[in-house]
A and B are shown apart, each in its own frame.
Chain A
Amino acid sequence: MKNSRSKIPADFEGRMERLQEIVTALEEGRLPLEEGMALYKEGVECSRLCREQLEKARHQLTIWQDGEEKDLILTDAVSGRQPDEEESI
Chain B
Amino acid sequence: MANLKPLKIGIVCPYGWDAPGGVQNHIRDLAEYLIAHGHSVSVLAPCADEESLPEYVVSAGKPIAIPYNGAVARVLFGPIAFSRVRQWIAQGDFDLLHLHEPAIPSLSLLACWAAEGPMVGTFHAAAKRQRAIFAIGPILEPVIEKLSVRIAVSEAARLTLTEHLETDAIVIPNGIYANKFRDGDILEKWSNETIGFIGRFEEPRKGLSVLLEAIPVIARFVPGVRVLVAGPGDIDEAMETVDPQLRSRVTFLGRLTEKEKADFFSSISVYVAPNTGGESFGIILAEAMASGSCVIASDIPAFESMLGNGEFGALFKSEDSQDLAKTIIDLMRDDSKRDSLARAGKAHAEIFDWENVAEQIFSVYEMAIVGSEKVRLASDTRSWSRLLNRESEK
Chains A and B form a bound pair: no
